[in-house]
Amino acid sequence: MTGVRVAGVGLTQFGSQPERTGRDLFAEAADRAFTDAGVDRDAVEELNYGNFMGALAEHQGHQAPLMAEAAGVRCPATRYESACASAGVAVREAVRTVAAGDADVVLAGGMERMTNLDTEGATEGLAIAADDLFEVGAGVTFPGAYALMANAYFEAHGGGREELAHVASKNHENALPNEYAQFRKAVSVEEALAAPPVAEPLHLYDACPITDGASALVFVSEEYAADNDLDAPVAVTGTGQGTDRMALADRADLASTPAADDAAAAAYDDAGIGPDDVDLAEVHDCFTIAEVLAIESLGFAEPGEGIAAARDGHTTADGDLPVNLSGGLKAKGHPVGATGGSQIAEVTRLLRGDHPNSDHVADAEVGVAHNAGGTVASAVVHVLEVAE
């Protein structure tokens, strides 16, 4: 096994860009990743590309070779689909490929174009990440599904809308200096509480937006980085993946996310660390309750204690364990097929010290990225560390 380094990261602006095509978005992210890495495109041996709803949003299947062309690489290319965890899975397979010695240079990431659809079309496209037979057909949407999870959590552990409002306010504050964020707008706890309901107990600022965007990362082996004198100080030292039952009705407990539990345990074991070693995290906060569930699955809080973490300042920018310094999905945006790659890019920038929020974690050495699909029927966790 060989060590895996993040040689370069590339992101597009996240937001509403309906006039742009998916291939245009991914080409921009890839170009930035190659420039950041200082790696020639001809060196790429594989492309792992995440996309969820391109067949619906752009009427375009078979996207992997299309995105290889857009990125300017000629190599085996594969599209990965795991709902909102699509790029996370693509990254995981890239890391495993390099670690196994099967390739020295792999390009990974993802793209989603969503705002060219109207609200009904985007809702329908996202809904297919749920169980069509037992959930979608009954009219369940993801705001409704996460509302069920939030209510189950409140019933089991207590807490309420005020604690969720602190999560929203924190992440909007973190997004303010992030040049890639969709919403660089402060939202107070009071504003979040006063926002209109989407699906009780979730209101407008509890939900992430519909977003266009792309992410790309160049992963290289330690040997390749050394031989080519690359400045690649961040290593991916752990990766894990988990799966749960698709339909909420089939789960024993709606107030926990076993897929993320399993992914975190595997990633920590792979890296040889534990939750107490982590200095910062980017987690999948598609809804504010999702951040609460994520930090509990990652072992940063005991079951029932995650709800108060933002309110009590533990996960704020200057807290014990800053969570979502990028702004998270909540404020940075959520182009679903690109999100998992974006999280890796943000953790890398934070650990390298070139993120606008790096000053909050100047001594950080270990970061975690948590990417989830659907109602966390899929989960991928990665551990990144500053290499010695």
Q: Please report where in the chains the tokens 């990028």 appear, as a residue.
A: 326
- The CATH fold assigned to 4-118+209-386 is Peroxisomal Thiolase; Chain A, domain 1 (3.40.47)
Contact yes or no for 200/207 (Cβ under 8 A): no
CB atoms within 10 A of CB 248: 22
Contact yes or no for 345/11 (Cβ under 8 A): yes
**Span 258-291, pLDDT tens digits:** 999 999 999 999 999 999 999 999 999 999 999 9
User: Is 0.95 surpassed by the pTM of this model?
Assistant: yes
**Span 81-108, pLDDT tens digits:** 999 999 999 999 999 999 999 999 999 9
Is the predicted pLDDT of residue 1 greater than 70, yes or no?
A: no
Distances (CA, A) of 210 to 185, 221, 260: 16, 35, 23
Q: How many residues does the chain have?
A: 388
CB atoms within 10 A of CB 101: 11
Is the predicted pLDDT of residue 186 greater than 70, yes or no?
A: yes
Q: What is the β-pairing status of strands 378-386 and 366-373?
A: antiparallel
Please give the pLDDT value at position 2: 80
What are the residue numbers of the active site? 84, 334
Residue 48 CA to chain centroid, in angstroms?
16
